[in-house]
Amino acid sequence: MAIPWSSVVLVTLVSLMACAEAKGSSFMGSDWGRAHATFYGGADASGTQGGACGYGNLYSTGYGTNTAALSSSLFNSGLSCGACYELTCDPSCSQYCLPGGSAIITATNFCPTGSNGGWCNPPKQHFDLAQPVFSKIARTVGGVIPINYRRVPCSKSGGMRFTVNGNPYFLLVLVTNVGGAGDVQQLYIKGASTGWLPLKRNWGQMWQFTGNSGMHGQAISFKAVTSDGAEAISPNVAPANWGFGQTFEGSNF
């Protein structure tokens, strides 16, 4: 399948732990639904790197091969990026299911309308899985399989990561490794001499801030809000001497 965004911001991973505050996520997931799934990207999942959520190298950003591109009805114009799902093959509808096969995946890409077979066309619910994770629930010879799926809380190791790029008048912040509901719906930034200021989602989980409020030379805090209304605050996660291309690790849900 085609990946609509082919370029991503390359980052230098510099993790700095900060004191963190989080309102505990109450996210419990969702009921089971029915959908279909297939796979892409090759047996080594090399073709799944990059994608419409902006995560870039899925190994260095912590997502690995348990990932999926979502059809438009699930992708929600990118607001579902980072959401986690449990998938099981439906043995009552397919002979290719593996007994007891279950997988937890993270949404990292978009399966565009018009893909082969029209499986990603609205209003269809479809998961285009990295091949290694597809192989955990079904034999690849099955091609497109019926599945059951549900949203589940994301379990992540370490804190949320904020990768900062841009210029003195434009910040572009990539948010990765989000626990709880996983899907950041709003991001705020706060400098040492400012209050909380909203960022605008550019695409995927890329958030932009265009206000000329002199963030350079100030310690920066971030506040992330997920779809369940939970908030996680990372105070002074980036020190006053922060630089573009750095990644800072803060709180999590």
Q: What is the pLDDT of residues 140-179, one digit of tens each?
A: 999 999 999 999 999 999 999 999 999 888 999 999 999 9
Share of the chain residues as helix, strand and coil, in percent rounded to the nearest 5: 10, 40, 55
Residues 200, 183, single domain; the answer is: yes
Residue 241 CB-density burial (10 A; 0-12 exposed, 13-18 middle, 19+ buried): exposed
Residues 146, 165, single domain; the answer is: no
Q: Does residue 1 sit within a domain?
A: no
Number of domains in the chain: 2
Q: Does residue 140 sit within a domain?
A: yes
Range of the domain at 142: 29-152
Take residue 207 and report the two structure tokens written for it.
């958030």
Q: Does residue 135 sit within a domain?
A: yes
Residues 62, 146, single domain; the answer is: yes
- Measured from the Cβ of residue 104, the count of other Cβ atoms closer than 10 Å reads 15
Q: Does residue 126 sit within a domain?
A: yes
Shortest CA distance to 111 belongs to which of 80, 145, 90, 87? 80
Q: Does residue 137 sit within a domain?
A: yes
Per-residue pLDDT of the chain (253 residues; tens, 9 = 90+): 433 333 333 333 444 444 445 555 678 889 999 999 999 999 999 999 999 999 999 999 999 999 999 999 999 999 999 999 999 999 888 899 999 889 999 999 999 988 777 999 999 999 999 999 999 999 999 999 999 999 999 999 999 999 999 988 899 999 999 999 999 999 999 999 999 999 999 999 999 998 766 788 999 999 999 999 999 999 999 999 999 999 999 999 9
Q: What is the pLDDT of residue 87?
A: 98
Look up the pTM and report it: 0.87
Question: Of 121, 152, 183, which one is at a domain's C-terminal end?
Answer: 152
Residues 53, 145, single domain; the answer is: yes
Q: What residues pair up with 21 in beta bridges, in sequence order?
A: 233
Residues 224, 195, single domain; the answer is: yes
Distance of CA 222 to the CA centre of its chain: 17
The span from the CA of 173 to the CA of 182, in Å, is 16
From residue 131, how far is each of 42, 142, 208 by CA, in Å?
Answer: 6, 12, 33
Q: Does residue 5 sit within a domain?
A: no
Residues 6+ apart with CB under 8 A from 13: 60, 247
Question: Of 152, 178, 211, which one is at a domain's C-terminal end?
Answer: 152
Take residue 5 and report the two structure tokens written for it.
């965004």
Residues 142, 166, single domain; the answer is: no
The span from the CA of 145 to the CA of 109, in Å, is 19
